[in-house]
Amino acid sequence: MLIDSHTHLEMREFDEDRDQVVERAWKAGVEFMLTVGTTVAYCKKAIALADRYEAVYAAVGIHPHDVKDIIDNGTYDALREMARMDKVVAYGEIGLDFFRNLSPKALQIRRFGEQLELASELGLPVIIHDRDAHREIMEMLGIGKGNRRGVVHCFSGDKSMAGKCLDMGFSVSAPGTVTFDKAEELRKVVQYIPLSSLLLETDAPYLAPQPHRGKRNEPAYVALTAEKVAGIKGISREEVEEATSENAKKLFTFSRRMPA
């Protein structure tokens, strides 16, 4: 079985056929899907979907694009409340995005630090968004009390950065972009990372793998990423599926199975 460790089923791109998307994922061998909130409204919707679908779990947090809308105690109190829900297993996605800068850089850094501390308070693993902010991400992950745990999702760094993530105890997640012709650096990273520290994701509805590139992504397509990773590592797809699924279950404590 497979696990899609990062998807966005709560987003409007799935409003017309969400039941069918979840059904296709099950038929493709996807045992669990983690739908990841990015705003307070999307976090609430993610939790509702986790309650609706046996195979879906939720993560809550504010994406760096949207941290400009955080209302200090009000937003964080809402996130604390949502984090108590049974099927909330992670805090994220949080981080820095200096490519689009939809929130000011200084504010992104401040809110990222606050959310890292809140995740520690809640005892949840973190899901890290990093775009054009490698140095700052690594610096901030190294700050704070205790050992943080989590995953750098949709990894876009090099082997050196991947090694530092592993040294901190973080997992690295391979998205569907690993199938792209020009993604040679990512394939080098995937080859380098021990199977014991690797997760698979779609980031649906974004970043559909070949041969669906340019179309809406969905959790069923994580199977294509697993197949590509197996080829890169020179092992069977079954080995990739088993190892990455176990890694995700340990990190996010998934425990419920989709009915047969």
DSSP 259: -
Domain boundaries, the chain: 2-252
Q: What average pLDDT does range 210-220 have in this prediction?
A: 97
**Contact partners, residue 198, CB within 8 Å, separation at least 6:** 171, 172, 173, 174, 190, 229, 243, 244, 247
84 three-state secondary structure: coil
pLDDT tens-digit map of 172-200: 999 999 999 999 999 999 999 999 999 99
The Cα-based distances of 46 to 52, 108, 201 in angstroms read 10, 23, 17
CB 214, CB 208: distance < 8 Å: yes
Q: Could you give the CA distance from residue 55 to residue 232 in angstroms, rounded to a whole number?
A: 28
- Residues making up the chain, counted from first to last: 260
Structure confidence at residue 143 as a pLDDT band (50, 70, 90):
confident
- DSSP for 120-167, written as a single string: HHHT--EEEEEES-HHHHHHHHT-SSS---EEE-S--S-HHHHHHHHH
Structure confidence at residue 148 as a pLDDT band (50, 70, 90):
confident
Q: With respect to CATH, is domain 2-252 assigned 3.40.50.880?
A: no
Which residue(s) pair with 32 in the sheet?
A: 3
Q: What's the pTM?
A: 0.96
